[in-house]
Structure 1
């Protein structure tokens, strides 16, 4: 899969993950980065399970990348906290 394929899969996976997790950050570049990193995470995890990660442009690749992106967003939310904290 070429660079444009990774960007397209990343964009779709990032949009799905942001919709599932209810991430309120915006920006196309942020979404693509979340999706591409999610594809790397999801592909790595899937290659451990069935030795086939994210290797071509398919529905399976988008789902695997979205699962990885959801995991990434949940980890980021756990580290940073769910929302802005206010002082009392």
Structure 2
């Protein structure tokens, strides 16, 4: 997967993770970072747990791992920074 694929997945999954955890605000750069780091974390966890990591851009497995990883990264970041979900 190329750099454009990582950017697209990062933006989409970062925004979805924020929506799933009820986090409002922030910039698109923050969503991008959450999504890209989340995709890396999800890919690592997928390869360790299921012996299957991030694949091609169009693979549903790639999108699922990126979403789960993004939610984990955002939850850990929220716990470290001491922020609670905004309403």
Which TM bucket (shorter chain)?
0.7 to 0.9
Describe the SS at the equivalent of 2:23.
coil
Partner of 1:63 in structure 2? 64
Q: CA deviation at 1:55?
A: 2.0
Partner of 1:14 in structure 2? 14
Structure 1 or 2, whichever has the larger Rg, is 1
Matches within 5 A, 1:1-80: 1-57=1-57, 58-80=59-81
Unaligned runs of 5+ in 2: none
Describe the SS at the equivalent of 1:54.
coil
TM-score w.r.t. the length of structure 2 is 0.87
Runs of 4+ in 1 over 6 A off after TM superposition: none
TM-score w.r.t. the length of structure 1 is 0.86
Unaligned runs of 5+ in 1: 84-88
How many residues are matched?
Answer: 83
Contact 1:13–1:63 (CA under 8 A) maintained in structure 2: no
